[in-house]
Structure 1
């Protein structure tokens, strides 16, 4: 049995779908079991990383776990439950901001993930770290609610029109995770993960406009205005600093998708076409 945390988030859902399609038994940890939209064969457990009792239930009979963590302080109880249940390996969605050579991590996001990585390494369990580069997490979309902006009109407002990112399609990240969850050769490995293209914010919105057949345009906000316009859960300083660093250089690109899965990564245009429905009026 493979346990997927955050199973109804875009990546978690893709992992569940791909594991199920490959014939693996899957358990999904989610806060709400109603209307999950997950495959009918999925064993759904209601719980939360902050709830040790639910973790103990979710871990029973599980061999490997995909871990997406946003809850501070969860790791000791999570790892204790995993060891008690006989879990062999954790595949962790970490951050590409983690710096293995630094005495102090560059910011809070890196420090949070670095600490979880440390605890995983010290746990005695097998582990695989999938370090998703910040620029690959498609942050302009969720930090500035681009779907909501597009449903409201043809102007997408955000900072740094020429800042480059390398967004990864959730299905590609999921495919890497599935390989790591099902193939023991990935134990003890750390993989940097990005999408296959370096594209500026303006270029991303132009490709989205093509997919939607809409005259969308990107309007650059001053930095301080952008800071206040960001969603409440977005790490504003971290994102703005990262975008500023990529104003005059391409975003980092890795070959991890193709190396691990044997297939090239999906383009941003493919992502825009696949998620077209998110931008349509409701």
Structure 2
């Protein structure tokens, strides 16, 4: 039995499908089982990891756990790790971040810091582990969907910001292989995952325009405007400003280097952003 947190998210949903294809029993954790829309053979369980409840029942009988910080805050995820140890789970595959470097620089970047703390908690658990450090998710481009649908114009402070977008299906493919590993090839491994090409934000927006069949472009705005638009009840303005500045650093500095991890681990080339845009064209139309 494999337990998947964030099972209805972009990565989790793909992962559940992959595990079902392999004939593996899956327990999918989600806040709203009625709206999950997961395959019938999946055990769908209501779980809000932000609630102060005992997570032990969620892990009963489980052999492995896919852990995603996006499914709950740091404290709640650490409670889940403790529960996994007590429940006899043998393996955790953690969806981490390429922002983690294992250096003191991790303390200056809140994205790196939160994931580095979680990596440490998983290591300290004594369970077998694999870390998936993904780069910029292609799905982050969905944040542009309302603007593209409305006007075709994306307002962004850094049109030239560079990244190597990785497809959620590639992340799910690697996660499935790590969760199902019977050879020990993934035990104690840190997989650094990127897409196959470095793209600017402007190039990503243009690729979406090609996929939907109409012109799209970026209009540059200030960092303050972008941070204020990004901030919300669960994302403080200070954190938004830090994130906007972080994105800006990639304009003149090298982006995260491309890796061949997806192809090396899965045997197939990493999916391109253009492919992702075509698959998600309906989200932008």
Q: Same fold (TM over 0.5)?
A: yes
How has the CA–CA distance of structure 1 residues 103 and 159 changed in structure 2, closer, same or farther, with 3 Å as cutoff?
A: closer
The root-mean-square deviation of aligned C-alpha atoms, in Å, is 1.8
Correspondence for 2:249 = 245
How has the CA–CA distance of structure 1 residues 266 and 105 changed in structure 2, closer, same or farther, with 3 Å as cutoff?
A: same
TM superposition shift of 1:171:
0.4
SS of the residue aligned with 2:108? Answer: coil
Correspondence for 1:273 = 278
**2:4–2:27 CA contact under 8 A, matched in 1:** yes
Aligned mates of 2:129, 2:211 — CA distance in 1: 38
- Superimposed CA distance per residue, residues 148-187 of structure 1 (whole angstroms, 9 cap, x where no aligned partner): 1112121111121111111111101111111111113201
**2:156–2:226 CA contact under 8 A, matched in 1:** yes
State the TM-score, normalized to the length of structure 1.
Answer: 0.92
**1:48–1:55 CA contact under 8 A, matched in 2:** no
- Superimposed CA distance per residue, residues 90-113 of structure 1 (whole angstroms, 9 cap, x where no aligned partner): 100112122313276222221111
Correspondence for 1:207 = 207
Q: 1:14-33 alignment to 2 at 5 Å?
A: 14-33=14-33
Q: 1:94-173 alignment to 2 at 5 Å?
A: 94-102=96-104, 105-133=107-135, 136-138=136-138, 141=141, 145-173=143-171
Aligned mates of 2:94, 2:114 — CA distance in 1: 13
TM superposition shift of 1:255:
1.0
Correspondence for 1:93 = 95
How has the CA–CA distance of structure 1 residues 10 and 75 changed in structure 2, closer, same or farther, with 3 Å as cutoff?
A: closer
Aligned mates of 1:175, 1:238 — CA distance in 2: 31
SS of the residue aligned with 1:41? Answer: coil
Q: Which runs of 5+ in 1 are unaligned?
A: none
Is 68-77 or 253-262 further displaced after alignment?
Answer: 68-77
Correspondence for 2:172 = 174
TM superposition shift of 1:65:
0.7
How has the CA–CA distance of structure 1 residues 33 and 149 changed in structure 2, closer, same or farther, with 3 Å as cutoff?
A: same
**2:106–2:112 CA contact under 8 A, matched in 1:** no
SS of the residue aligned with 1:207? Answer: helix
Give the number of aligned pairs.
276
Q: Which runs of 5+ in 2 are unaligned?
A: none
Correspondence for 1:44 = 44
SS of the residue aligned with 2:179? Answer: helix
State the TM-score, normalized to the length of structure 2.
Answer: 0.91
**1:140–1:201 CA contact under 8 A, matched in 2:** no
Is 230-239 or 71-80 further displaced after alignment?
Answer: 230-239
SS of the residue aligned with 1:93? Answer: strand
